[in-house]
């Protein structure tokens, strides 16, 4: 079970990091979310993996560590707030810059002026 | 107490001139001089004590943790310097009154002057090294302002900047040196430091300390190779030059040498560095002074030369040399201040300071000519004047100097060379300005003597030169003995200041220098021609060039590193994330811990597989954004299931409701973004990113594995034990959130509020078209079946939310989850019926609810103050409700209500705002 969890955390982290290195904004947002999942799972795993032991007094024999759970609960909500904010920034950036690249200057240098309107569904 | 007052009077008095400015120039000067005169009176009143060897101390604890103290001492050395600062200060104020332009009210000038005076007094009176550094920096800053007094003039600005850069850099070095000294001695109190001389000299850090302190002293006292700022500081008004560059600021460096003499001197290194710098400065200054045609330029280089002389004397490591150094400090201050003032008078009356244009002024300014001649005689070292005595002492000491070992003759020889040049430039000062024939333009102009009282300061100083020169023991004997005793921190050596020592080596050197000086003066024009051919560069151009080069280099580094590419910053951050742990953990053998593993079951394995597959699928299909988003939501759902699987029901509920809100939100956002983004990255780039991602992911997995296979040592036992008795709830996670760690939760909902308001502000008034689709293209945005199904869902969902909220304290649930469920239910109405439709019927404005929720949470927390408990202490009690039974009510519930309201309103505010800009406005719809 621990190995499965570790692999999941690793895959989520790797996928998140890869997407965060992309040049356009939406994949970066998705990468941030994936990394967020990975971090939450990682924090959660710091309380070890317990089966059928919720931290509710009187409902189970033993109790999983409630502290990482409380921290992760906070992290999930804050992660939502952050994702929402970043997404709005992405929309604002596309409106202002007329493109959806992470880098404004660099892309202008490398690819000439950014296209006025990016391609639609193909 | 008096010593404190002496420092504070000018410092606090600095506000007076500006206030008195409205009363007219005369009153402004009179009021300015008042605090200085009082301070001078206090100083003189302390004279019997100081000369009796007692001295005054004053100390108040201040910043004691830093080793600092507001401590002042008035011993012989500081009394001598304070006398120079205050005495010459009074004369300079009087002089400046006549020197300043009639249309300059002088308030700013006097304010800065008093500020500088106070800083200087603090520096010489400080009884604590850190306090001394503080005042040292103050002198740098106030002298910067004084030098740049005529800020309209670019030369003044550049000169001031150069002075600040050089002396400020030296100040930093001094601070470092003083901190090290304090570390070595264990105290910053001057007494402790001076008493620990042997300990300091034996310490391994002594060379570093010495170099740092000397850097401070040499930059301030314009010693070679830091002398170049002083001539450029001559763009200051002449009273400032007379004050700063003769008597005070430049003397701060040699004062430092004197003050720390018992702590640092006596070693070979001290002798080499101090004597070496002094000797180089002495010769360089004296020679260069001859090639300056500007009166103040000549005096500036002469000052550099004389400062070198004083420094050299300190470097000789003998008590008698110290007496000579102190004596020369006094003499130089008197004759150089009067010469600067005379130069100012000449400039004032003729309009020029160029010696090549001047001549024959004795016919027009006989009085000034006499004064300047006597003062210049003192500068040259003519008998019967004070300069002669200290110069003889200096020559006598150089003969005995042994700091350069077998090269010991170098010191007297170079001293004689410098002496001859100083005679040559003094001769030039007198002859070229006051004698020779008068040029035609000057005859037309017919300059006249300045106002009576403008000459008074010069007269006083010149009389002092004469008096000290003729009856030295009576004038300064006792003062020098006390100052020398304070400097050496022991008994002063026996000395006698007499005019005639016999026909000794020193006198022979003087005579030789006199003859050579006259010869050099005679051939000066040949020397000038030779000098003009030298490839010398103006220090200012070199300095400005260096500054600009520094700026360009900084900019190049900045633009090279901070090039505006966020992708590159991300890459650098991730590389650091990879590099540091790899470096730290390379070859670590304990990746697998000792505790046993839990067995894996097939269902969980399948779940893990789906999670990984969905995550990888997101990456693979990220160019097709909608598909990627769907797979991303699958990842989120699997994470929620993972929480449920591993005994975290609260997390699972939260994750699943957040997931729904997020996906809806991203769907809305995607409407404004390109749906497909082609692959533009090169293959190498993809490989590189993939490699980084694999390493980071592998590292995270390995760390997680390492922790999970180790036994748990948690503080959670406390929370589990105290949840029911302390928090009144059986759901430990919820009790932690709203009670034990309630402050965290308060911070968290504040973040939510800020994010919601920030998003609202970013989107407010935004009009945005979806790429490639004109507004209002969507046909039938709200399918009938969706509308029909969604409406009855609302009351059911709200009931569930209420249930989840109420049971939250005891069973999985709570304000967060209830809030998210409510939000999801309302978002469903947005989707099914349209944002505008729903919001019209909802009739609630989100902002007040948002604020209200936060206020409820805050008020609940603050409420516990009323009962004398700390912020956010909860209390709980049992209620018996007929028909329902026992209900436990905790104040934490009220707090949870605040959380609930914030979560609902912020979520709806965000989604509603984004939805409303994507919704087809009614007016547009009608026009279609």
* Residues of chain B above pLDDT 70, percent: 95
Helix, strand, coil percentages, rounded to 5, for chain A: 65, 0, 35
Residues A40 and A74: beta-carbon distance below 8 Å: no
Q: Does the beta-carbon distance from B700 to A24 stay under 8 Å? A: no
B675 chain-A contacts, CB cut-off 8 A: 120-121
Res B595: pLDDT: 80
Q: Tell me the average pLDDT across A30-50.
A: 93
Model confidence band, residue B925 (pLDDT cutoffs 50, 70, 90): very low
Q: Does the beta-carbon distance from B697 to A12 stay under 8 Å? A: yes
Q: Does the beta-carbon distance from B678 to A119 stay under 8 Å? A: yes
Which residue range(s) make up the domain with A32? 2-51+62-104
Res B878: pLDDT: 65
Distance from CA of B681 to the nearest CA of A (A): 8
Query: Measuring CA to CA, which residue among B342, B337, B367 is closest to residue B92?
Result: B337
Q: Does the beta-carbon distance from B604 to A4 stay under 8 Å? A: yes
Of B678, B737, B758, the CB nearest to A73: B737
Residues B313 and B448: beta-carbon distance below 8 Å: no
| Residue A73, in any domain of the structure | yes
Cα B739 from Cα B478, distance rounded (Å): 77
Residues B88 and B338: beta-carbon distance below 8 Å: no
Instruction: Determine which of B111-120, B294-303, B880-889 has the lowest per-residue pLDDT on average.
Output: B880-889
| Residue A16, in any domain of the structure | yes
Which of B624, B668, B693 to mutate to test binding with chain A, by most A CBs within 10 Å of its CB?
A: B693
Element (H, E) at B583: helix B566-585
Query: Measuring CA to CA, which residue among B901, B720, B733, B642 is closest to residue A71?
Result: B733
User: What backbone phi and psi angles, to 5 degrees, belong to B875?
Assistant: -135, 160
Of B571, B647, B669, the CB nearest to A91: B669
Q: Does the beta-carbon distance from B651 to A69 stay under 8 Å? A: yes
- Minimal-distance CA residue of chain A relative to B907: A81
Q: How many domains does chain A divide into?
A: 1
| Residue A112, in any domain of the structure | no
Model confidence band, residue B258 (pLDDT cutoffs 50, 70, 90): very high
Of B599, B625, B812, the CB nearest to A56: B812
Model confidence band, residue B559 (pLDDT cutoffs 50, 70, 90): confident
Of A11, A18, A27, the CB nearest to B612: A11
Residues B492 and B319: beta-carbon distance below 8 Å: yes
pLDDT, averaged across chain B: 87
Judged against a pLDDT cut of 50, whether residue B923 lies above it is answered with: no
CA distances from B614 to A18, A79, B633, B679, B697 (A): 15, 20, 9, 20, 16
pLDDT digit string (tens) for B134-181? Answer: 999 999 999 999 999 988 888 899 889 899 999 999 999 999 999 999
pLDDT digit string (tens) for A63-117? Answer: 888 999 999 999 998 999 999 999 999 888 888 888 888 876 544 444 444 444 4
Of B676, B696, B745, the CB nearest to A14: B696
Higher-confidence residue of B630 and B436: namely B630
Model confidence band, residue B383 (pLDDT cutoffs 50, 70, 90): confident
Q: Does the beta-carbon distance from A21 to B651 stay under 8 Å? A: no
Long-range CB contacts (< 8 A, 24+ apart) of B97-101?
B97/B25, B97/B26, B97/B29, B97/B453, B98/B450, B98/B451, B98/B453, B98/B454, B99/B237, B99/B238, B99/B239, B99/B344, B99/B348, B99/B454, B100/B25, B100/B237, B100/B239
Burial B298-312 (b: 16+ CB within 10 A, else e): bbbbbbbbbbbbbbb
Distance from CA of B306 to the nearest CA of A (A): 58
| Residue A120, in any domain of the structure | no
Element (H, E) at B304: helix B295-315
For residue A80, what is the domain's CATH number? Answer: 1.10.287
- Minimal-distance CA residue of chain A relative to B693: A14
CA distances from A15 to A27, A28, B620, B837 (A): 11, 11, 9, 40
| Residue A119, in any domain of the structure | no
Instruction: Determine which of B231-245, B271-285, B491-505 has the lowest per-residue pLDDT on average.
Output: B491-505
Size of interface A-B (CB pairs under 8 A): 325
Of A27, A44, A103, the CB nearest to B622: A27
Grouping H, G, I as helix, E, B as strand and the rest as coil, residue B52 is coil
Judged against a pLDDT cut of 60, whether residue B524 lies above it is answered with: yes
Q: Which residues contact B674 (CB under 8 A, 6 or more apart)?
A: A100, A118, A119, A120, B625, B771, B772
3-class SS string, B231-243: HHHHHCCHHHHHH
Q: Tell me the average pLDDT across B339-349.
A: 91
Higher-confidence residue of B688 and B926: namely B688
Element (H, E) at B885: strand B885-890
- Minimal-distance CA residue of chain B relative to A95: B768
Element (H, E) at B57: strand B56-61
Which of B563, B596, B677, B737 to mutate to test binding with chain A, by most A CBs within 10 Å of its CB?
A: B677
Query: Measuring CA to CA, which residue among B663, B612, B682 is closest to residue A7?
Result: B612
Cα B765 from Cα B380, distance rounded (Å): 80
Distance from CA of B563 to the nearest CA of A (A): 8
Q: Tell me the average pLDDT across B599-611.
A: 91
| Residue A67, in any domain of the structure | yes
Judged against a pLDDT cut of 90, whether residue B121 lies above it is answered with: yes
Q: Does the beta-carbon distance from A49 to B758 stay under 8 Å? A: no
pLDDT digit string (tens) for B826-879? Answer: 988 888 888 778 888 888 888 899 999 999 988 888 887 877 777 777 777 666
- Minimal-distance CA residue of chain A relative to B766: A92
Res A122: pLDDT: 35
| Residue A12, in any domain of the structure | yes
Res A117: pLDDT: 41
B658 chain-A contacts, CB cut-off 8 A: 76-77, 79-80
| Residue A6, in any domain of the structure | yes
Of B724, B741, B810, the CB nearest to A70: B741
Query: Measuring CA to CA, which residue among B259, B270, B214 is closest to residue B75?
Result: B259
Q: Does the beta-carbon distance from A51 to B694 stay under 8 Å? A: no
Res A119: pLDDT: 39
Distance from CA of A60 to the nearest CA of B (A): 10
Model confidence band, residue B883 (pLDDT cutoffs 50, 70, 90): low
pLDDT digit string (tens) for B768-793? Answer: 766 655 555 555 667 788 888 888 88
Distance from CA of A73 to the nearest CA of B (A): 6
pLDDT digit string (tens) for B617-645? Answer: 999 998 888 899 999 999 999 999 999 99
Model confidence band, residue B919 (pLDDT cutoffs 50, 70, 90): low
């Amino acid at each position: 079970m621990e190995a499965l969890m570790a692999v999941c955390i690793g895959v989520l982290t790797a996928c998140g990091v890869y997407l965060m290195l992309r040049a356009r904004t939406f994949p970066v947002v998705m990468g941030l979310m994936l990394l967020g999942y990975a971090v939450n799972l990682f924090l959660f795993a710091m309380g070890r993996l317990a089966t059928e032991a919720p931290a509710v007094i009187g409902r189970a024999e033993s109790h999983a560590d409630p502290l990482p759970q409380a921290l992760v609960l906070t992290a999930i909500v804050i992660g939502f707030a952050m994702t929402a904010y970043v997404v709005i920034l992405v929309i604002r950036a596309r409106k202002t810059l007329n493109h959806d690249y992470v880098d404004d200057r660099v892309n202008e240098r490398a690819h000439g002026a950014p296209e006025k309107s990016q391609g639609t569904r193909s | 107490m008096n010593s404190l007052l002496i420092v504070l009077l000018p410092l606090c008095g600095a506000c007076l001139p500006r206030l008195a400015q409205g009363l007219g120039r005369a009153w402004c000067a009179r009021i300015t001089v008042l605090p200085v005169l009082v301070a001078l009176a206090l100083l003189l009143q302390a004279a019997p004590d100081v000369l009796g060897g007692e001295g005054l101390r004053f100390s108040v604890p201040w910043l004691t943790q830093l080793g600092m103290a507001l401590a002042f001492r008035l011993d012989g050395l500081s009394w001598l310097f304070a006398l120079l600062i205050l005495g010459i200060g009074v004369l300079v104020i009087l002089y400046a009154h006549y020197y300043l332009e009639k249309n300059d009210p002088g308030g700013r000038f006097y304010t800065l002057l008093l500020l500088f005076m106070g800083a200087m007094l603090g520096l010489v009176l400080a009884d604590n090294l850190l306090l001394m550094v503080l005042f040292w920096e103050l002198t740098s800053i106030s002298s910067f302002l004084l030098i740049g007094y005529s800020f309209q003039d670019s030369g003044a600005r550049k000169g001031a900047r150069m002075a600040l850069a050089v002396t400020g850099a030296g100040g930093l070095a001094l601070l470092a040196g003083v901190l090290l000294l304090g570390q070595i001695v264990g105290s910053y109190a001057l007494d402790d430091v001076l008493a620990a001389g042997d300990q300091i000299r034996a310490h391994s850090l002594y060379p570093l300390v010495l170099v740092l302190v000397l850097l401070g002293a040499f930059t301030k006292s314009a010693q070679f190779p830091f002398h170049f700022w002083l001539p450029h500081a001559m763009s200051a008004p002449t009273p400032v030059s007379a004050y700063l560059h003769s008597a005070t600021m430049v003397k701060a460096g040699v004062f430092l040498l004197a003050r720390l003499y018992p702590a640092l001197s006596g070693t070979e290194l001290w002798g080499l560095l101090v004597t070496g710098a002094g000797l180089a400065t002495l010769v360089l200054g004296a020679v260069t002074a001859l090639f300056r045609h500007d009166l103040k330029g000549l005096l500036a280089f002469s000052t550099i030369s004389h400062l070198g002389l004083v420094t050299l004397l300190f470097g000789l490591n003998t008590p008698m040399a110290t007496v000579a150094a102190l004596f020369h400090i006094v003499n130089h201050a008197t004759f150089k201040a009067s010469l600067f003032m005379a130069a100012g008078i000449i400039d004032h009356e003729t309009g020029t300071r160029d010696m090549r244009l001047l001549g024959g002024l004795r016919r027009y300014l006989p009085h000034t000519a006499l004064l300047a001649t006597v003062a210049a005689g003192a500068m040259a070292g003519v008998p019967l004047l004070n300069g002669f005595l200290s110069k003889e002492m200096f020559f006598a000491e150089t003969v005995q100097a042994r700091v350069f070992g077998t090269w010991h003759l170098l010191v007297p020889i170079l001293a004689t060379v410098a002496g001859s040049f100083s005679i040559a430039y003094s001769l030039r000062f007198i002859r070229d300005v006051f004698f020779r024939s008068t040029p035609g333009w000057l005859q037309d102009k017919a300059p006249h003597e300045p106002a009576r009282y403008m000459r008074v300061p010069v007269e006083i100083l010149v009389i002092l030169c004469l008096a000290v020169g003729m009856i030295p023991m009576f004038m300064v004997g006792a003062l020098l003995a006390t100052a020398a005793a304070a400097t050496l921190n022991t008994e002063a050596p026996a000395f006698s200041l007499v005019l005639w020592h016999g026909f000794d080596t020193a006198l022979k050197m003087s005579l030789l220098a006199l003859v050579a000086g006259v010869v050099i003066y005679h051939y000066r024009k040949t020397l000038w021609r030779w000098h003009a051919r030298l490839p010398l560069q103006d220090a200012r151009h070199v300095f400005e060039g260096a500054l600009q080069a520094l700026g360009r280099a900084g900019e190049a580094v900045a633009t090279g590193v901070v090039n505006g590419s966020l992708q590159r910053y991300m890459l650098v951050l991730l590389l650091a994330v990879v590099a540091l742990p790899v470096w730290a953990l390379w070859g670590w053998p304990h990746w697998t811990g000792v505790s046993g593993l839990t067995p894996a079951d097939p269902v969980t394995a399948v779940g893990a597989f789906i999670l990984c597959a969905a995550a990888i699928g997101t990456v693979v299909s990220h160019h097709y954004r909608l598909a990627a988003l769907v797979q991303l939501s699958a990842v989120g759902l699997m994470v929620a299931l993972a929480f449920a699987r591993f005994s975290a029901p609260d997390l699972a509920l939260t994750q699943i409701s957040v997931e729904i809100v997020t996906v809806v939100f991203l769907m809305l956002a995607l409407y404004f973004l390109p749906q497909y983004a082609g692959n533009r990255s090169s293959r190498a780039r993809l490989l590189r990113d993939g490699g980084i991602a694999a390493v980071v992911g592998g590292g995270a997995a390995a760390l997680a594995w390492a922790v999970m296979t180790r036994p748990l040592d948690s503080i959670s036992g406390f929370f589990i034990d105290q949840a029911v008795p302390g928090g009144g709830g059986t759901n430990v996670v919820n009790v932690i959130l709203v009670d034990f760690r309630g402050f965290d939760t308060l911070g968290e909902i504040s973040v939510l509020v800020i994010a919601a308001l920030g998003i609202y502000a970013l989107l407010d008034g935004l009009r945005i078209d979806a790429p490639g689709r004109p507004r209002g293209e969507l046909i039938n945005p709200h399918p009938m079946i969706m509308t029909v199904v969604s409406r009855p869902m609302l009351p059911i969902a709200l009931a569930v939310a209420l249930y989840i909220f109420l049971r939250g304290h005891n069973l999985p649930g709570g304000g967060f989850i209830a809030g998210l469920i409510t939000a999801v239910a309302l978002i469903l109405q947005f989707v099914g019926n349209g944002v505008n439709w729903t919001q019209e019927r909802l009739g609630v404005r989100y902002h007040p609810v948002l604020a209200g929720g936060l206020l409820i949470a805050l008020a609940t927390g603050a409420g516990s103050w009323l009962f004398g408990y700390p912020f956010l202490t909860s209390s709980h009690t049992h209620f018996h409700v007929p028909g329902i039974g026992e209900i436990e009510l905790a104040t934490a519930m009220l707090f949870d209500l605040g959380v609930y309201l914030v979560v609902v309103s912020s979520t709806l505010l965000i989604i509603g705002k984004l939805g409303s800009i994507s919704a087809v406005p009614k007016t547009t719809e009608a026009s279609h």
